[in-house]
Chain A
Amino acid sequence: MNSKSTTHRSTPWCRQVMILLVTVGLVCLLSGSAVAQDVAVATATATVLGTISVSATANLDFGQVLQGVETATANNTANAAVFDISGETDKGINLVLILPEYLTKTDGSSRMDIIFSATDASVDTTGASSPTTMAAGKGWQNTNPYSLPAAAIIGSGGTSIYLGGSVRPSANQPAGTYEGDIVLTVAYNGS
């Protein structure tokens, strides 16, 4: 009974010794392999451009309009909408305007048509931010707001977009204040 017990205990001891030896051997083998390898380290680099900032600094203001009388606001007047864009100078940007088809009376009870022609926008790359001083040579004058220039860039002083349009009140348009959202999306285009 005792001898069996002794034999039973000695077997794991032997295995432990063998496992230890094998492990040491493998470590030596692997460390020898590591010495034989060559290692090179490359660096991944990237520069993130200055963050774009875009703000709506003036609303497109038609002021007081009369029933049945189409009223236009030009993009070179003080009542034009102004969007200012800043970011990395001389980098190309994609500009997309999402324009409303109608203005809504503030109490939601009525709509009034608003239209934008193919010459109702200007893109000023001098960043002057003043529609009244916009002129040829300062970017794109009287361009299509539905398809703003693909070559637009952020000028050294920023870039501004000026937007005009027209409203068409019906002959029985209810009196009151009407509003509509104009959404500008700006993104770098990689150029």
Chain B
Amino acid sequence: MISSTNRQSAMKKAALVLTVLLLGTASCVLAANYVVTGQATATVATALTVTATQELDFPLTFPGQPSTQGITHDDSTGIFTIDGEPGAKIITTFYLPEYMTGPGGDRMTITFGATDCAIDTSNAGTPAAFGDGWNNQNPQDLTAATLGADPVIGSEAPGNNTRIYIGGSIYPSIVQAAGAYTADIVLVVAYAAQ
């Protein structure tokens, strides 16, 4: 007759043998597969930033007298500065206001002509001394189709940038309330397919 102790010992041995067999089987299965790991890599280039460097500032005007600000004034032409990957193509889109808001919510019409914008890619130009790029463009239509090509970020050197100059015209009515008027000019910039 087998004692209880002997029976437990036998069961433990059987379990041990079974475990060894299972491990052996499992290792055989694993050994039949061959695995290798490669990698996908990508580097995101310099982040795109756009800054409103200078406001479009119209000179003092009188009720009923239109006023125009050109794109060649270093101290009053609107200036946007775009930084990013040197030489990368970009897409630029303006969202332009139709009026400015003044005292008591009074509105004053503002318009932008077909030559009220310049895209200076020289990194060295100013409104008064346009460098290189696209001068006298329509700010409402800065598409590649119109420009002939996508604008680019500066020249092929780190730290360079592209500047956009913008002018416009305002039309105060004869009863325009006196005071300061403001409006937002929004420029959206994105990388284009290269």
Establish whether residues A186 and B192, one from each chain, have CB atoms under 8 Å apart when the complex forms. Answer: no
Q: Which residues of B contact A114 (CB under 8 A)?
A: 40, 42
Residues 42-88 of B at the A interface (beta carbon under 8 Å): 42-48, 85, 88
Residues 7-64 of B at the A interface (beta carbon under 8 Å): 32-48
Establish whether residues B44 and A53, one from each chain, have CB atoms under 8 Å apart when the complex forms. Answer: no
Establish whether residues B191 and A182, one from each chain, have CB atoms under 8 Å apart when the complex forms. Answer: no
Establish whether residues A179 and B45, one from each chain, have CB atoms under 8 Å apart when the complex forms. Answer: no
Establish whether residues A52 and B39, one from each chain, have CB atoms under 8 Å apart when the complex forms. Answer: no
Q: Which residues of B contact A188 (CB under 8 A)?
A: 32
A61 is an interface residue with CB less than 8 A from chain B: yes
B6 is an interface residue with CB less than 8 A from chain A: no
Establish whether residues A181 and B44, one from each chain, have CB atoms under 8 Å apart when the complex forms. Answer: no
Establish whether residues B191 and A69, one from each chain, have CB atoms under 8 Å apart when the complex forms. Answer: yes
Of all chain A residues, which has the CB nearest B190?
A: A68
Establish whether residues B33 and A186, one from each chain, have CB atoms under 8 Å apart when the complex forms. Answer: yes
Q: Which residues of B contact A58 (CB under 8 A)?
A: 38
Q: Which residues of B contact A176 (CB under 8 A)?
A: 43-44
Q: Which residues of A contact B191 (CB under 8 A)?
A: 66-69
Assuming the A-B contacts A67-B48, A175-B47, are A60 and B36 also in contact, with contact meaning beta carbons closer than 8 angstroms in the complex? Answer: no
Establish whether residues A173 and B44, one from each chain, have CB atoms under 8 Å apart when the complex forms. Answer: yes
B193 is an interface residue with CB less than 8 A from chain A: yes
- Nearest CB of A to B144, in Å: 14
Residues 26-42 of A at the B interface (beta carbon under 8 Å): none
CA of A53 to CA of B42 in the docked complex: distance in angstroms? 28
Q: Which residues of A contact B4 (CB under 8 A)?
A: none
B194 is an interface residue with CB less than 8 A from chain A: yes
CA of A59 to CA of B34 in the docked complex: distance in angstroms? 18
Q: Which residues of B contact A68 (CB under 8 A)?
A: 190-191
Residues 63-119 of B at the A interface (beta carbon under 8 Å): 85, 88
Partner of B42, one of A52, A167, A174, A184: A167
Interface residues of A (CB under 8 A from B): 52-56, 58-69, 71, 81-83, 100, 103, 112, 114, 163, 165, 167, 169, 171-188
Q: Pick 5 A–B contacts, CB within 8 A, sort by A.
A: A67-B45, A67-B191, A69-B192, A173-B47, A186-B35
